[in-house]
Amino acid sequence: MKIGYLFLNKHQLILLALFLSLIIGPITSAQIKTESTPYFTKENIEPFLDSLITSLMKEQNIIGCGISIVNDSSIAFSKGYGYSDLENKN
């Protein structure tokens, strides 16, 4: 008894890939909307970033940096840390 193999030419392979993408695409892209409470809010992000950034700056010997967080094309948080002029400490 012989076992046959499936051989597809180039056009059949393209049609098969197109067919599978049309079938599988909508199934895998379905999203379930869930209501969730964000971990970070405007009230708790600043203390968190203050402690994180200052400890990283000390650890890496960084004299100054700026952080901005953008959410939906608007600035949610922006702050500068450290010195712009180390000699004059300002």
Annotated domain spans of the chain: 42-82
Q: Which is nearest to 71 in space by CA: 40, 35, 48?
A: 40
Mean pLDDT of the chain: 77
pLDDT at 26: 64
According to DSSP, the residues that pair with 78 across neighbouring strands are 68
In whole angstroms, what separates CA 50 from the centre of its chain?
21
pLDDT top residue among 54 and 1? 54
Categorize the per-residue pLDDT at 8 as very low, low, confident or very high, splitting at 50, 70 and 90: low
Categorize the per-residue pLDDT at 37 as very low, low, confident or very high, splitting at 50, 70 and 90: confident
Compute the distance between CA of residue 90 and CA of residue 68 in angstroms, rounded to an integer.
20
